[in-house]
Structure 1
Amino acid sequence: MHIKTLVSATLASLLLVACDSGTSVVDKNAEVLPRPAKLLEIRLKNAHDFLNYPAVVQSRQLSVLSFEVGGMLNELNVLEAQRVVKGEVLATLDQRDLKAKVASAQAQYKNANNEYQRALRLIKQNAISQSKLGERKSKREVNKSELETAQKALQDAVLIAPFAGAIAKISIEKQQIIQAGKPAITLLGKAGLEAVFNLPSSIVARVKGKKEQSRESYLILNVAPDRKISIRFKEAALEADAASQTYAVTFAFDKPEDLNILPGMNAVVWLKDPSKPAINNKILIPLTSIAVDGEQKYVWVLDKNTMQVARRDITIEADVGERAAVDSGLQVGDVIVEAGVALLAEGMKVSKWSK
Structure 2
Amino acid sequence: EEVQAKQPVLAMQDNNSLQVKVDVPENIIRGIKPSGNDQPNAERAPTWATFDSHPDQRFDLTLREVSTRADRATQTFEVTYTMPAPTDFLVFPGMTATVTADLSRVSVGERVFTLPATAVTADAQLEPFVWVVEESAMTVAKVPVEVGRLSGSSIEVAGGLEPGQRVVVAGVGYLAEGMKVRLLPQREQAQPRADEVPSS
Q: State whether TM-score is above 0.5.
A: no
Q: Which has the larger radius of gyration?
A: 1
Q: TM-score, normalised by structure 2?
A: 0.42
| Structure number with higher helix proportion | 1
